[in-house]
Chain A
Amino acid sequence: MLTEQSAYANRWRRVSPVAKGLFSLCGMVAAFAAGSPRAALLAACILAAATVLGAGVAITHYLRVAAPPLLFLAASTLSLLVSLDFGTPQTGVSLHLAGAEFLQTALVCSRSLACLSALLFLALTTPLSDIISLLRRCRIPETLLDLMTLCYRTLFVLSEAVHDTMTAQSARLGYTTLTVSMRSLGSLISNLIVQVWQRSLALHSAAQARNNDGALRFLENSYANSRLSISIAVGSGCLMVALTIMLP
């Protein structure tokens, strides 16, 4: 879990999540406020620089996390640029490169890039539990947040269970040939479903044992100098928005 690692081990881990959230929000505002691809790219660069140079997230880490969404972005940009024309039976099928819409496409693409780096900034500098408490402050419905909390925790429990079961299966030659592998995978999945069921019951008992009667409530982290960091974040965020608006 690369995102996880840097979220817990970056220079800005102890900075108030409100500040980081607001800066990320400013990044998204800047992305939409940008009138030209150049301006949107500038916003993307500022956000990426803040993540890598400011928060100290390793550049290799950053690129590896960014690679999958970038691939999607590239694919969708390509499909916007190139259009397939079935034409008339005389002209036949032809590929068209967008001409007039080129600028439009470039703007959409660069804006998405800026939005992506704004989200990456938040995801790579803030642990999910902080993001959830941030969302709680924004009055997001409790049920959704509880689901997020449980899913997040269960993700690790399950990946460990998968890992252990697979190791145990391999130790007994479970993945030697294709047929055997398919059978092992099948039993892994069915076993996992039972485990999920049992774990959900166990979690329910554990919650009851600690006096739970509905919503999951936790203590929120407290952050030193949060007022200062929020003003810095909002200040620099607004500067970024202003820059993207002014850049022709």
Chain B
Amino acid sequence: MTDAILTLKNVAYRYPDGTPALDNCSLTVRRGSRTAVLGTNGAGKTTLFLHLNGILRPSAGQVLCGDNPLDYSRAGMRKLRSQVGLVFQNPDSQLFSASVQEDVSFGPMNMGLEEREVRTRVAESLLAVGMAASADRPVHNLSYGQKKRVCIAGVLAMKPEILVLDEPMAGLDAAMQQELMSVLDQLHAAGMTIIIATHDLDFAYGWADDGIVMEAGRLLAQGATTEILLRDDVQMALGGAPLIAEINRRLLLIGIDLRDNGYLPRSKGELLQAITAQTRQESTP
């Protein structure tokens, strides 16, 4: 299967204190996909992410990047970590240096790139997240959202093929979420595979192509978000359903099929558009 960029085969992981975090977990992430990882708190999302980057090593089972099992040697890890960029949930635990520019340069410097190349990459990635004007500011004077964007820039500067983000939207205001979305869309359009852990079902339904639903360290469901998020067991595990999906379903019950417009709406904008189109159709006999 050349389509899979990351694969977990029967992976189990137990924290040193004995808490089981992953249990016989198998899943695949498609190359070039936008994948949302869903699950309640403690379902194993963060542990899963730490496996993708080789920070944690499975107690049993295998992690594959492309077709090859991960190589946990020093050189293997160097290669993997420049391919898989991991953005942590709490920006304060990721930012090392007191200066924005310095912190973003951390990854590329570790990769042993030339200074000129590092400088270009730092400038490019700060521009991509809209933080170019703050390059010289001290990290501790930034707002939470700005720190989060610096974290993303720090990983982008390593030019990974796969970008893994742990709840990137948490704590951001609506405008900043929109901005981040457009950054992610640009990266995806440029061919990057993006994996996001989120609690926001509406976001997952509207944005992601693929969904991975975790429950108690196991894979509960995997597939197109438009399908799996409608499953009863998934909705039970996640404690809800995407609002747009609910509305589609209710409208269908009263005889309005929004698919008449050619597609099933996934986001608020699409839904409003579909409803407008539908009412126009009905008013013109």
Interface on A for B, CB 8 Å cutoff? 4, 8, 127-129, 149-150, 152-153, 156-157, 160, 199, 202-203, 205-213, 216-219, 221-222
Judge whether B97 is part of the interface by a CB distance below 8 angstroms. Answer: yes
- Of the listed stretches B27-35, B103-111, B217-225, name the one at the interface; the rest are far from the partner chain: B103-111
Task: Specify which of B92, B105, B110 is in contact with A211 (CB 8 Å cutoff).
Answer: B110
The answer to whether B88 touches A202 (Cβ under 8 A) is yes
The answer to whether A213 touches B101 (Cβ under 8 A) is no
The answer to whether A221 touches B101 (Cβ under 8 A) is yes
Judge whether B152 is part of the interface by a CB distance below 8 angstroms. Answer: no
Nearest-neighbour CB distance to chain A for B170, whole angstroms, equals 16
Query: Measured between alpha carbons, how far is A45 from B122 in the docked complex, in Å?
Result: 41
DSSP majority for the B interface?
A: helix
Residues of B93-131 at the interface with A, using a CB-CB cut-off of 8 Å, are: 93-99, 101-103, 105-111, 115, 118-119, 122
Task: Specify which of A152, A160, A210 is in contact with B106 (CB 8 Å cutoff).
Answer: A210
- Chain A residues near B193 (CB-CB < 8 A): none
Task: Specify which of B99, B118, B136, B140 is in contact with A156 (CB 8 Å cutoff).
Answer: B140
Nearest-neighbour CB distance to chain B for A20, whole angstroms, equals 16
Nearest-neighbour CB distance to chain B for A3, whole angstroms, equals 12
Contact A217 to B97, CB < 8 A, known contacts A206-B88, A208-B55: no
The 5 closest A-B pairs by CB, nearest first: A219-B105, A202-B93, A156-B140, A218-B102, A210-B107
Task: Specify which of A4, A212, A219 is in contact with B138 (CB 8 Å cutoff).
Answer: A4
Q: Which of the listed residues A149, A153, A219, A221 has the most CB atoms from chain B within 10 Å of its own CB?
A: A219
Query: Measured between alpha carbons, how far is A153 from B110 in the docked complex, in Å?
Result: 19
The answer to whether B53 touches A209 (Cβ under 8 A) is yes
Q: Which of the listed residues B81, B97, B101 has the most CB atoms from chain A within 10 Å of its own CB?
A: B97
The answer to whether B158 touches A210 (Cβ under 8 A) is yes
- Chain A residues near B88 (CB-CB < 8 A): 202, 205-206, 209
Judge whether B154 is part of the interface by a CB distance below 8 angstroms. Answer: yes
- Chain A residues near B74 (CB-CB < 8 A): 213
Task: Specify which of A213, A216, A221 is in contact with B96 (CB 8 Å cutoff).
Answer: A216
- Chain B residues near A202 (CB-CB < 8 A): 88, 90, 93-94
- Chain B residues near A152 (CB-CB < 8 A): 98
Nearest-neighbour CB distance to chain B for A151, whole angstroms, equals 10
- 7 A-B pairs in the complex with CB atoms less than 8 angstroms apart: A129-B97, A149-B98, A153-B139, A208-B55, A213-B78, A218-B97, A219-B102
The answer to whether A219 touches B86 (Cβ under 8 A) is no
Residue of A nearest to B137 (CB): A8
Contact A217 to B81, CB < 8 A, known contacts A152-B98, A211-B158: no
The answer to whether A216 touches B81 (Cβ under 8 A) is no
Query: Measured between alpha carbons, how far is A149 from B99 in the docked complex, in Å?
Result: 10
Residue of A nearest to B140 (CB): A156
The answer to whether B110 touches A217 (Cβ under 8 A) is yes
Judge whether B50 is part of the interface by a CB distance below 8 angstroms. Answer: yes
The answer to whether A210 touches B154 (Cβ under 8 A) is yes
Query: Measured between alpha carbons, how far is A105 from B281 in the docked complex, in Å?
Result: 97
Query: Measured between alpha carbons, how far is A208 from B84 in the docked complex, in Å?
Result: 12
- Chain B residues near A208 (CB-CB < 8 A): 53, 55, 77, 81
The answer to whether A153 touches B102 (Cβ under 8 A) is no
The answer to whether A129 touches B102 (Cβ under 8 A) is yes
Query: Measured between alpha carbons, how far is A205 from B50 in the docked complex, in Å?
Result: 9
Nearest-neighbour CB distance to chain B for A199, whole angstroms, equals 6
**B63-93 near A? 1/0 per residue, CB < 8 Å:** 0000000000010011001100110101011
The answer to whether B119 touches A209 (Cβ under 8 A) is no
- Chain A residues near B50 (CB-CB < 8 A): 205
Judge whether B37 is part of the interface by a CB distance below 8 angstroms. Answer: no
Nearest-neighbour CB distance to chain B for A110, whole angstroms, equals 35
Nearest-neighbour CB distance to chain B for A191, whole angstroms, equals 16
Query: Measured between alpha carbons, how far is A85 from B162 in the docked complex, in Å?
Result: 77
- Chain B residues near A217 (CB-CB < 8 A): 106, 109-110
The answer to whether B98 touches A209 (Cβ under 8 A) is no
Query: Measured between alpha carbons, how far is A150 from B110 in the docked complex, in Å?
Result: 17
The answer to whether B155 touches A210 (Cβ under 8 A) is yes
Nearest-neighbour CB distance to chain A for B81, whole angstroms, equals 5
The answer to whether B106 touches A129 (Cβ under 8 A) is no
Residue of A nearest to B122 (CB): A219
Query: Measured between alpha carbons, how far is A153 from B96 in the docked complex, in Å?
Result: 6
Query: Measured between alpha carbons, how far is A213 from B88 in the docked complex, in Å?
Result: 19
Q: Which of the listed residues A127, A160, A209 has the most CB atoms from chain B within 10 Å of its own CB?
A: A209
